[in-house]
């Protein structure tokens, strides 16, 4: 297993069953905690300055495979995982460039199978500006048909237009969520899953609430 991938893969059952099992257990055996500790250690080793501590979870029922990345400001310091299996966390560390007073702004694209005949390119993006007074941290995500990812300029413009620390994209049967903390070295967290699986979990969670005895 790569050093920046955490958790035991969930491989049993159908694609939907695998995805639901992963979605219901994002921190089994403390795997999310370990991913978070990993990026925090990278930050501690790197030192002071604007940076993004990125972690993301795969609950798609399939494997996420790295496709492309881009940095509008800053650079990748702790590399993106090349493959993240279902039920695993991936982690990366993106920083400002040395010496230069800049922010940490970038995106990464993966490839994942939606069905037996369809593949898509989900994307996660973040912006941690140098000036925390004039600008806000931003989180963004999107889903594209395979090989039809928007240009970097268009992606960054969409993120700027949304201008939010939380975002959800539901397209092509996939659901991607992203969120980012405040501050100059925030944790950025994203989740990849399937639209139908997210709906199943929502219904099950609601049924659990309704079945719980009132206090």
Give CA–CA dist 212/176, Å, rounded: 29
Q: Sketch the domain layout of the chain as residue ranges.
A: 5-209
Predicted local distance difference test score (pLDDT) of residue 98: 87
Q: What is the mean pLDDT of each run of 10 residues along the chain (215 residues)?
A: 91 98 98 98 96 99 99 96 99 92 95 96 97 90 98 98 98 98 98 96 81 67
Cα angle 116, 118, 121; round to 5: 130
Predicted local distance difference test score (pLDDT) of residue 1: 60
β-strands 75-78, 138-145 pairing = unpaired
Predicted local distance difference test score (pLDDT) of residue 145: 98
Fold of 5-209: Mutm (Fpg) Protein; Chain: A, domain 2 (2.60.270)
Give CA–CA dist 36/188, Å, rounded: 10
Predicted local distance difference test score (pLDDT) of residue 165: 98
Whether 26 and 19 have beta carbons less than 8 Å apart is answered as: no
Predicted local distance difference test score (pLDDT) of residue 215: 52
Predicted local distance difference test score (pLDDT) of residue 52: 98
Give CA–CA dist 58/113, Å, rounded: 12
Cα distances (angstroms) measured from residue 172 to each of 142, 144, 145, 191: 10, 8, 8, 16
Cα distances (angstroms) measured from residue 93 to each of 13, 29, 79, 81, 104: 33, 23, 7, 11, 10
């Amino acid at each position: 297993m790569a050093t920046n991938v955490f958790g035991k893969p969930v491989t049993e059952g159908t694609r939907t069953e695998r995805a639901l099992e992963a979605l219901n257990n994002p921190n089994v055996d403390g795997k999310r905690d370990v991913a978070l500790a990993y990026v925090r250690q990278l930050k501690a080793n790197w030192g002071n300055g604007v940076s993004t501590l990125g972690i993301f979870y795969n609950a798609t029922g399939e494997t996420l495979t790295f496709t492309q990345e881009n940095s509008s400001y800053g650079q990748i310091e702790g590399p993106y995982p090349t493959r993240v299996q279902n039920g695993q966390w991936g982690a990366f560390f993106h920083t400002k460039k040395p010496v230069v007073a800049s922010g940490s702004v970038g995106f990464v694209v993966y490839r994942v199978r939606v069905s037996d005949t369809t593949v898509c390119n989900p994307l996660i993006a973040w912006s941690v500006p140098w000036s925390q007074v004039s600008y806000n941290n931003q989180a963004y995500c999107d889903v594209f048909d395979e090989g039809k990812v928007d240009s970097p300029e268009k992606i960054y413009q969409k993120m700027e237009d949304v201008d939010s620390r939380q975002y959800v994209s539901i397209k092509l049967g996939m659901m991607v969520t992203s969120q980012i903390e405040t501050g100059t070295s925030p944790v950025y967290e994203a989740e990849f899953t399937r639209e139908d699986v997210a709906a199943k979990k929502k219904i099950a969670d609601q049924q659990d609430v309704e079945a719980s005895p009132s206090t």
